[in-house]
């Protein structure tokens, strides 16, 4: 069973899965916000196709995901294990580490997502996700991936605190884009590191780009101000960048990093886990 065809169809399904039911008028508005230039006729054409495929139900002026289609998806995925391609990362012993290597920014982001979701799925949503990026290149080069992460975490009501180390005009633009996804953001973080870090529970996931890769990313963020232009340049250097992903289960180190990143934010008392 084919799930997504990309483009407007994928956006429509994502919106309906997240919101369950929308008026057709509101759906068209949201599709246009996600993908500028989408026409009303184009959205209606997609809705007719999705209805024929049995993926949505339209009644009067509202549209909803077809519950039967969702049940088919559940049946297809019921037997899938929660472990990732790297095994069950939640079974790491105290202070145990795993190192994953990738070539290319897109591959590194995909490997990070695989590892992160495997860990995050088994940690209570009361624990915030703390993030630090020298430059937030993924929101430019992989906006749909970033949006999927943000949507699923918000659905769980998991707080997200993102600190950015850079001070360029493009860094400011990435903060604006992240804030649009309802992520708590801080520019020019008090915390500094040459690599990206995610901390959730007792786990730390660090992404270390090769020295050449770090220089190329920094050059783009200093030389460009428009997200589309920067995204194009990031895609050009994609295959030239090597990355190493380090996953650690270290309670003491995790608490220390969370405290340092949290200095940029007001973290509600009920969510403080350091």
Question: And the tokens for 33?
Answer: 């916000």
pTM for this prediction: 0.76
- Give the residue, 250 or 188, on which the prediction is more confident: 250
- CA–CA gap between residue 123 and residue 193 (Å, rounded): 25
Q: Is residue 247 within 8 Å of residue 92, measured between CB atoms?
A: yes
| Range in 6-15, 109-118, 204-213 with the lowest mean pLDDT | 6-15
pLDDT digits (tens, 9 = 90+) for 50-101: 999 889 999 888 999 998 888 788 777 666 656 677 878 888 899 899 999 9
Return the CATH superfamily for domain 94-271. Endonuclease Chain A (3.30.870.10)
Whole-angstrom distance, CA of residue 263 vs CA of residue 266: 8
What DSSP assignment string belongs to 84-112? BTTB-GGGPPTT-EEEEEEESHHHHHHHH
* CA 37 to chain CA centroid, nearest Å: 24
The residue extents of the domains of the chain are 7-77, 94-271
Quick one: angle between helices 227-237 and 169-180, nearest 10? 100
Asked if 7-77 and 94-271 have one fold, the answer is: no
For the cut 60, the answer to whether the pLDDT of residue 1 exceeds it is no
CATH class assigned to 7-77: mainly alpha
Mean pLDDT of 120-126: 92
Query: Are 165 and 193 spatial neighbours (Cβ–Cβ below 8 Å)?
Result: yes
C-alpha–C-alpha distance, residues 110 and 214, integer Å: 18
Using alpha carbons, select from 221, 193, 223 the residue that is nearest to residue 205.
Answer: 193
- Region 162-191 average pLDDT: 89
Sorting pLDDT into bands at 50, 70 and 90, what band is 131?
very high
């Amino acid at each position: 069973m084919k799930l997504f065809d990309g483009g407007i169809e994928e956006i429509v399904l994502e919106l309906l899965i997240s919101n369950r039911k929308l008026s057709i008028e509101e759906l068209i508005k949201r599709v246009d916000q996600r993908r500028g230039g989408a026409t009303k006729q184009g959205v209606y054409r997609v809705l007719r196709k999705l209805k024929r495929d049995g993926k949505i139900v339209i009644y009067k002026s509202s549209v909803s995901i077809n519950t039967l289609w969702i049940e088919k998806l559940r049946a297809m995925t019921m037997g899938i294990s929660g472990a990732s391609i790297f095994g069950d990362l939640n079974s790491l012993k105290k202070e145990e580490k795993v190192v994953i290597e990738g070539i290319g920014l897109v591959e590194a982001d995909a490997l990070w997502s695989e590892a992160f979701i495997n860990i995050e799925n088994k940690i209570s949503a009361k624990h915030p996700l703390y993030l630090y990026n020298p430059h937030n290149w993924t929101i430019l080069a992989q906006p749909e991936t970033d949006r999927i992460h943000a949507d699923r975490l918000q659905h769980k009501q998991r707080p997200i605190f993102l600190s950015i180390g850079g001070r360029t005009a493009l860094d400011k633009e990435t903060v604006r884009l992240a804030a649009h996804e309802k992520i708590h953001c801080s520019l020019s973080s008090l915390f500094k590191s040459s690599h990206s870090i995610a901390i959730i529970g007792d786990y730390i996931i660090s992404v270390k780009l090769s020295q050449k890769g770090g220089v190329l990313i920094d050059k783009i963020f200093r030389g460009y101000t428009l997200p589309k232009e920067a995204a194009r340049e990031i895609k050009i250097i994609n295959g030239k960048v090597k990355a190493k992903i380090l996953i650690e289960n270290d309670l003491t180190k995790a608490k220390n990093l969370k405290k340092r990143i949290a200095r940029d934010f007001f973290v509600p008392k009920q969510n403080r886990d350091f």
